[in-house]
Amino acid sequence: MEDFLLLDELLSDESKLMRESTREFINREVKPIIGDAFEKAQFPMELIQKIGEMGLLGCTLPEKYGGLDSNYMSYGIINQELERGDSGIRSFVSTQSSLCMFPIFSFGSEEQKKKYLPKLASAELIACFGLTEPDGGSDLTAMDTRAEKTTDGWIVNGTKSWSGNALFADLAVVWAQTEEGIRGFLIEKEFNGFQRIDLKKKMSLRASGTGVLVMENCFVPEENCLPHVKGTEGPRSCLNQAQYAVAWGVIGAAIDCYEMAVQYTTERKQFGKPIASFQLIQKDLSKMLTEITKAQLMNVRLGQLKDEGKDTPDMTSMAKMNACKEALAIARLSRNLLGANGISLEYPVIRHMINLESTLTSEGANNFHQLVLGEHITGFNALS
């Protein structure tokens, strides 16, 4: 896709190199197989080790823990390229990196960091995130999962739904209510009382390992409790990291839809000439390019601010909300331009469109982010 406002001039050589290597990986390894994986509702497990070898997992973490010590601009750009392939691929990486490795690095003990992070970075271990509950949604105060202190650990009971990577995860980062407030727990798949259940019949994010986590009197030793965070700060900071990844990622899906629409309308002939020559087609294509460029501008600025330590959760809410809304609108426009072919998995558009329905609500629904901004503007919390 053309760099309409020359945003490459704002990127470092490192960011460009990571973008190109990730783009090449998506074109070579993901695009040829992802339609079949989506149709079969299977995550392409053969990609996991390759993703780890590329250094895409936890890339912003220090090298001593297996990361690349990269910046957030680069992390955003690789998420854009990953979701140009499929939302399920981006979700795998951002779940591992933002929702699981980030809290271990930020709130874990040195022993926990050394034990888990290098193996998570190399994809030797896979992690999932347990926060959302069947009846809770974005309301952390309604969390039903409970952890009770014992002599040498904790007993955890509860259910977490819509957990990315759950079906093949070795480790779950689970948040639970305690007498001390919300705490984070690192639950290994072998722990007694812990099980994972497939989420059947989902029509979006089909090429992902999304599942349900169930803890029934699950014993978690004290050394597997994150020691340096209590309350809502922990899970909210994880969501903020993931929202940043989603804001970048969905624009990758939008770019793929836009490029497909340009190619298709240029080649498709009706009434004796390419349909791209018709006014209404050009109107839709110009809107797509404009909204992609606007969202990229917001994402680039947010990446700069994150690297400078000047970002706020409100900024991320705006970027995520805007990108998800516009990406879905672009996918729908593209689907219409492809006519009947727009609903075929021979083309990427319908797959992206269906996946983007999930990103509209994941890591906080768009309505929730509108209320976050509403409180910023007015000073009134509409959620309480």
Contact assessment for residue 87 and residue 358, using Cβ atoms and an 8 Å cutoff: yes
Q: Do domains 127-224 and 233-378 have the same CATH topology?
A: no
Q: Given the structure tokens 């969202």, which residue do they identify?
A: 295
Q: Which of the following CATH numbers is that of domain 127-224: 3.40.50.1950, 3.40.50.2300, 3.40.50.360, 2.40.110.10?
A: 2.40.110.10
Per-residue pLDDT, 138: 64
Q: CATH 3.40.920.10: does it fit domain 233-378?
A: no
Domain ranges of the chain: 7-121, 127-224, 233-378
Give whole-number Cα distances, 3 to 128, 189, 294, 367, in Å. Answer: 35, 45, 12, 31
* 293 SS3 class: helix
7-121, CATH topology level:
Butyryl-Coa Dehydrogenase, subunit A; domain 1 (1.10.540)
Q: Which residues are catalytic?
A: 363
Sign (positive or negative) of CA dihedral 275, 279, 281, 287: positive
Residues of the chain where predicted confidence (pLDDT) is lower than 50: none
Per-residue pLDDT, 196: 96
Sign (positive or negative) of CA dihedral 110, 111, 116, 119: positive
Per-residue pLDDT, 96: 98
